[in-house]
Amino acid sequence: MDFGAAGARASAETGLTWTSNLLIVVRLCIAEPVLWLIVFGSAVPSLAALLVVCAGRGSKIRMLLSRFLLRVPWRKALREYGFLSLLMAMGLLSVYALRSVLPGPEYTRPDGLIGMGLAGALLAAAFLDQGGVLEELGWRGFALPELQAGLLSPLGAAVLVGVAWGLWHVPRDVTWGVVERLGMFQYLLLFLPSFLAGTITTSIIAAYFVNRCGGSIIPAIMIHGLGNDAVGLSGIASIELVLSPYHQVTKVLPFAIIALGIVVVSGRRLGLPGRAAA
């Protein structure tokens, strides 16, 4: 299926450009129903987690769904959410600064981005991101705590989830023509390693804040959404540029420094107090 053509038709009909904002995605899907398959694809990790726990007792389902809720006092939650938002914003601004000094494609940012509407735009990016809302119940809601409760340390679990999260995107790269456009050599040696580095570093950051917030996936949803940067703090890019080695390498470097700092401060426990929560 030619999702690119379907997206172009939906954009022409609605006047909207495809973005990770879930509200815009839904409006485009209404215009071109075939695009619902993309939304369904984003929900697969969470649907898989629900199918697994449905084979167990009802309490496991309730425990899984409770990860959408606050699991620490709201004052602590607000402090953690504020800190992670600051870290992610600093990371995105650092990405833009890095791209501004390196040779390569020119990135621009929306006019009037730094202004009164920035807070609202960041909130929308944090809580209405397609990937963040639809995927995180599977990645940080189910896989991370299951692995932490087993033989892996929280750091090891975060890395493994990050690898799985990155490789899960490979079918997208095949069906959307990324492999064909880049060539197998460039895809395997440049794009895929840099993309995996990005999912691993983001997974470490998300695991740290999820653990500090009692296993709630709200921090992971926020980090996932802010990392996708629908706001454009790190610069606006076409889908072809986003799915390029240059974009992935420049994006991962500042966040790798943040992830390394978290590991240095928190160690292998990544903020998990005592034994892993159920």
What tens digit of pLDDT does each residue of 152-171 get?
A: 999 999 999 999 999 999 99
Per-residue pLDDT of 180-197, as tens digits, reads: 999 999 999 999 999 999
What's the N-to-C CA distance of the chain in angstroms? 41
Is 157 part of a structural domain of the chain? yes
Query: For residue 151, is it within any domain?
Result: yes
Q: Is residue 5 part of a domain?
A: no
- Asked if residue 214 has pLDDT above 60, the reply is yes
Which amino acid would we find at residue 272?
L
Residue 271 clears pLDDT 80, i.e. is over it: yes
Task: Give domain status of residue 214, yes or no.
Answer: yes
Q: Domain of 164?
A: 71-269
Q: Burial level of 157, CB count in 10 A (0-12/13-18/19+)?
A: buried
Q: What's residue 278's pLDDT?
A: 41
Task: Give residues with Cβ within 8 angstroms of 209, minimum separation 6.
Answer: 80, 84, 219, 220, 223, 271
CB neighbour class for 137 (10 Å; exposed up to 12, middle 13-18, buried from 19) = buried
- Is residue 273 over pLDDT 50? yes
pLDDT 10s digits, 246-270: 999 999 999 999 999 999 999 999 9
Alpha-helix residue ranges (DSSP H) falling in the chain: 3-14, 22-31, 36-54, 58-65, 74-101, 118-127, 130-138, 144-148, 154-167, 170-175, 178-182, 184-186, 192-212, 218-228, 239-242, 245-266
pLDDT of residue 277 exceeding 50: no
Region 15-22 average pLDDT: 85
- Inside any domain, residue 11: no
Share of the chain above pLDDT 70, in %: 96
Q: Is residue 65 part of a domain?
A: no
Query: Which is more confidently placed, 276 or 98?
Result: 98
Whether 245 maps to a domain, the answer reads: yes
- Report the domain count for the chain: 1
User: What is the average pLDDT value for the chain, to the nearest integer?
Assistant: 91
